[in-house]
Amino acid sequence: MDWEEAGKPGEAFWCLAEGRFGQRLRRGLRQGLRWDPFYGDAKSYAFAHGRVTASRIAIVNHMIQLNGYKNYLEIGVRRKSKMFEEIRCEHRISVDPDPAAEADYRLPSDDYFAQNEHRFDIVFIDGNHTGDQVERDLVNSLERLNPGGVILLHDMNPPTRFHARATYEIDGRQPSWNGTSWKGYAALRKKRDDLTMRVVDTDWGVGIVHQGNQERYQGACESYLDLARDRKALLNLISVPEFLQLYGVPLAKAG
Ligand SMILES: C[S@@+](CC[C@H](N)C(=O)[O-])C[C@H]1O[C@@H](n2cnc3c(N)ncnc32)[C@H](O)[C@@H]1O
């Protein structure tokens, strides 16, 4: 059952706990104790590009450094200083339809893919947070991926059904939100046995998708409760140390 179907339980509590104050409190906990009940692992590790705190940015830069990637696409960028400018790649392109976003292409990702034929070594999907759109972003990105390339996705591991609610804003406020993005990832976990798909347990769940092979997921992926019941198997959830072990050599060599 999704949060909306359940009658939006605990709305006032969640708006307070995951509003600006709660977010600041958790950021402090994360920095001080390297612990955050929702975010996932926030400890430092020796990534390919150096020792840094685990995050979506660390995972992206690790894959770029290890594989010698040259071309990066970010779907959904908002402010470049938050992530895009931290990405250590020779050629970078960003796409975001918001007129206020600092994007190279101010377009929805569907239009960008329809109008351009660029190819990429690495794509980061963090745009529209609905399952259908994330599935389309994944399929379109796979078609534009160079051999040995990888797709990474944000917000794949929502910790509660509040975080996995359908819409961001509640009465003009914007408490922490992962949306239903995980459902787009789950759709390919069910359909595609020619891919390898994993989620790293840091920064709200960082998905990894590349050519490979997987046993298709057989369970239900309709609602948040399906995810909560079988999270590890549905997502193929791995820890940061497991990520570093699995992705310690270039992808083509890893097979
Ligand atoms: C969570 S923000 C991205 C944050 C950024 N990747 C970062 O890590 O700092 C999501 C962005 O996706 C954009 N967005 C929404 N729909 C989109 C679409 N169809 N295509 C591309 N971007 C979209 C929004 O305008 C918003 O700026």
Q: How many CA atoms within 13 Å lie on the side-chain side of 6? A: 16
Confidence of residue 30 (pLDDT cuts 50, 70, 90): confident
As a whole number, the mean pLDDT across the chain is 96
Residue 254 pLDDT level (bands cut at 50, 70, 90):
low
Radius of gyration of the chain (CA): 17
Q: Residue 39: what pLDDT? A: 93
Q: What is the pLDDT of residue 34?
A: 83
Res. 115: pLDDT tops 80: yes
Instruction: List the structure tokens of 204.
Output: 């709200």
Whole-number percent of the chain with pLDDT over 90: 91
CA distances from 46 to 51, 147, 163, 178, 230 (A): 4, 26, 30, 27, 30
Ligand 1 contact via 123 beta carbon (within 6 Å)? no
Long-range contacts, 103-109 (Cβ 8 Å, 24+): 103/77, 109/75, 109/76, 109/133, 109/136, 109/137, 109/140
Check pLDDT > 70 for residue 249: yes
Asked whether residue 29 carries a pLDDT value surpassing 90, the answer given is no
Protein residue with least CA distance to atom 11, ligand 1: 76
Task: Copy the structure tokens of residue 115.
Answer: 């109008």
Angle between helices 131-143 and 181-191 (to 10 degrees): 60
What is the rounded distance in angstroms from the CA atom of residue 44 to the CA atom of residue 41?
A: 9
Phi, psi of 13 (to 5 degrees): -60, -50
Mutate to test the pocket of ligand 1, among 39, 74, 96 (most ligand atoms within 8 A of CB): 96
What backbone torsions phi and psi does residue 79 show, to the nearest 5 degrees? -105, 125
Position 90 pLDDT exceeds 60 = yes
CA dist 28 → 25, 42, 60, 185, 209 (Å): 5, 12, 24, 30, 31
Q: pLDDT-derived band of residue 144, with 50, 70 and 90 as boundaries?
A: very high
Tens of pLDDT, residue by residue over 216-243, are: 999 999 999 999 999 999 999 999 999 9
Q: Would you state the structure tokens that stand for residue 101, as one six-digit string?
A: 């976003």
Is the pTM above the cut of 0.85? yes
Pocket of ligand 1 contains residue 203 by CB under 6 Å: no
Is the model's pLDDT at 75 over the cut of 70? yes
Q: Which pLDDT does position 253 carry in this prediction? A: 61
C-alpha 166/C-alpha 168 separation (Å) is 7
pLDDT of the residue at 63: 98
Q: Which residue CA neighbors atom 14 of ligand 1 most closely? A: 127
* Distance from the first to the final alpha carbon of the chain: 37
Ligand 1 proximity of 77 Cβ (cutoff 6 Å): yes
Residue 33 is predicted with a pLDDT of: 84
Confidence (pLDDT) at 80: 96
Domains and CATH numbers, the chain: 11-248 (3.40.50)
Atom of ligand 1 nearest to the CA of 127: 12
Q: What are the pLDDT digits (tens) for 46-74?
A: 999 999 999 999 999 999 999 999 999 99
Q: What is the pLDDT of residue 35?
A: 78
